[in-house]
């Protein structure tokens, strides 16, 4: 099952995720515990793309305070 989850993550269909921050009803930053990465998710565009510094700058420019990632388990 772990391999299946890896494939799903690679395709952008994360098996389960937690919402780190909600920016608007259709945009949020999510964290996938399977691939241990954070993503920008957009309902209107139906995409989830890796979170990077450009998203951070964009949302900080809108006045959001970007939270750090949850601590990884050892």
Q: What residues make contact with Zn ion under the rule CB under 5 A?
A: 9, 14, 32, 34-35
Cα dihedral 44, 36, 55, 18, rounded to 10, equals 50
Give the residue with the Cβ less far from Zn ion, 34 or 64.
34
Give the residue with the Cβ less far from Zn ion, 14 or 29.
14
Please tell me what DSSP assigns to residue 33. Answer: T
Q: Is the CA virtual torsion 66, 39, 59, 52 positive or negative?
A: positive
Q: How far is the CB of 51 from Zn ion (least distance, A)?
A: 12
Give the residue with the Cβ less far from Zn ion, 2 or 65.
2
């Amino acid at each position: 099952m772990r391999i299946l989850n890896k494939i799903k993550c690679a395709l952008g269909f994360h098996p389960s995720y937690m919402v780190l921050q909600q920016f608007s009803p259709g945009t949020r930053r999510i964290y996938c515990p399977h691939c241990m990465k954070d993503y920008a998710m957009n309902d209107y565009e139906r995409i989830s793309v890796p979170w990077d510094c450009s998203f951070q700058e964009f949302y900080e420019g809108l006045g959001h305070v970007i939270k750090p990632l949850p601590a990884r388990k050892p």
